[in-house]
Amino acid sequence: MREVLLVSKPVAPPWNDSGKNLVRDLAGALSRYAPTVLTRPGADPGLPGARLETPYARTSGGFSPALVDNARVALRLMTGRRVDLWHFFFAPNPRSSSVGRVTSRARRVPTVHTIASAPLRGVPLREVLFADVNIVLSRHTEERFLAEGVARDRLVRIAPCIVPLEPASESARAATRGEYGWPSGAPVVLYPGDLELGDGAERTVDAVAALQRRDVWIVLACRTKTAGARDAELRLRERVRAAGLEARTRWVGETRAIHALLAAADVVVLPSTDLYAKMDHPLVLLEAMSLARPVVVVRGTPAEELAEDDAAVAVEPNTDSLADALDRLLDDAALRASFGARAREAVLARHTPRPMAAQYEDVYDGLARSTR
């Protein structure tokens, strides 16, 4: 069996990062290629069929590996055990791409690069793409790359996956609401996005404030990913206070109970115009959809593609459009159930590990044929 080295941040719990979750799910679903996965000493990624290597320090973690960790990975690429194929997972950037380009050429290894999150605008794409094949996760990013002069034969589009979650029972949803102090009867809108980019949290607060009904609660489940997150939270707290929503807003922060919170919400919203540092089809939205929750996204972003076949609601990136969508959904339990059912069907049809892995193995096969 041919071997593929999956080059990523350490694949280890907690499973709160779409980049490493995608690697874990791919490695666990490969059938014709033997995966080698990079992790930390002592970590258990739950992949009994994978070979584990530990270039990362025992304390490595976070959303961005430290320079010393990146140096250890570069050393492994240059001097480590040879495998048939390297498969990289990161957002294209000059430094990491240079390492991938130099080491793969030196070792004469064919390469695949999954664009785990789209790069910032202004990054010279043709300069930072180094692999033989580049995988994009959405039509939106594919069209951007083509418009910026990347050759079509260097791109393949493969949608990301999750391991689908089972929808929660009404009693389980009620128990979660009680545990976190949410009202049993009032509607709850959950925002599980970032605070620093895209104005999604602000748009959520403003839309709920604009609703005629005064019983809607907001839950903000936002991770601290950068140094600017604290200041962004303080500004948002002031916005909540000015809108008179303090009593109906709950600040969860980062939590390992995110699946239970998604299941307990009535509507999950991510109305952000900028998904930088997130998967094009955000992991948390795919999880919410698998839980049969209605999801709202904004048009003009990769996440809009989740609304195909009415599997989610896509709105214009403004307060009025989002408020109108929330009004319709929160006033109609049957409408919420209908969107939730279609959401789950879409995830089961398009975003599960084995079909995704089969597409990747087809890419690997093509590279194997071209290098013989």
What would the pLDDT profile of 26-36 be if each residue is shown by its tens digit?
999 999 999 99
Q: How confident is the model at residue 288 (pLDDT cuts 50, 70, 90)?
A: very high
The fold of 2-161+352-370 is: Rossmann fold (3.40.50)
Q: Provide the pLDDT for residue 153.
A: 93
What is the arrangement of strands in the sheet containing 51-53, beginning at the earlier edge strand? 51-53, 33-38, 2-7, 85-90, 111-115, 133-136, 155-157
Give the whole-angstrom CA distance, residue 181 versus residue 173.
12
- Residue 140 pairs with which residues in a beta bridge? none
Stretch(es) of the chain classified as CATH 3.40.50.2000: 2-161+352-370, 170-350
Give the whole-angstrom CA distance, residue 180 versus residue 260.
11
The first and second tokens of residue 361, run together, are 């193995």
> Nearest-CA neighbor of 284 among 231, 223, 234?
223
Predicted confidence (pLDDT) per residue in 348-367, tens digit: 999 999 999 999 999 999 99
Q: Provide the pLDDT for residue 79.
A: 97
Q: How confident is the model at residue 327 (pLDDT cuts 50, 70, 90)?
A: very high
Give the whole-angstrom CA distance, residue 239 versus residue 143.
36
Average pLDDT over residues 323-347: 98
Q: Provide the pLDDT for residue 277.
A: 81
The first and second tokens of residue 45, run together, are 């990624």
Place of tokens 């570069």: 74
Q: What is the mean pLDDT of the chain?
A: 94
The answer as to CATH 3.40.50.300 being correct for domain 170-350 is no
Q: How confident is the model at residue 281 (pLDDT cuts 50, 70, 90)?
A: very high
Helical (H) or strand (E) element with 284? helix 283-290
Q: Provide the pLDDT for residue 70.
A: 92
Predicted confidence (pLDDT) per residue in 171-208, tens digit: 999 999 999 999 988 999 999 998 988 999 999 999 99
Q: Provide the pLDDT for residue 226.
A: 72
Q: Provide the pLDDT for residue 60.
A: 84
Q: How confident is the model at residue 370 (pLDDT cuts 50, 70, 90)?
A: confident
pLDDT greater than 90 at residue 63? no
Q: How many CB atoms lie within 10 A of CB 247?
A: 7
Range of weakest confidence among 56-65, 248-257, 267-276: 56-65
pLDDT greater than 70 at residue 372? no
Q: How confident is the model at residue 308 (pLDDT cuts 50, 70, 90)?
A: very high
Q: Please, are residues 351 and 161 in contact by the beta-carbon 8 Å criterion?
A: yes
> Nearest-CA neighbor of 30 among 314, 353, 363?
353
Q: Provide the pLDDT for residue 272.
A: 95
Range of weakest confidence among 51-65, 282-296, 355-369: 51-65
Peptide bond before residue 14 is cis, with ω within 30 degrees of 0: yes
Distance between alpha carbon 275 and the CA centroid of its chain, in Å?
9
Predicted confidence (pLDDT) per residue in 91-109, tens digit: 888 899 999 999 999 999 9
Give the whole-angstrom CA distance, residue 148 versus residue 125.
7
* Dihedral pair phi/psi, residue 319, rounded to 5°: -65, -45
Q: Provide the pLDDT for residue 23.
A: 98
Q: How far apart are the first and last CA of the chain?
A: 16
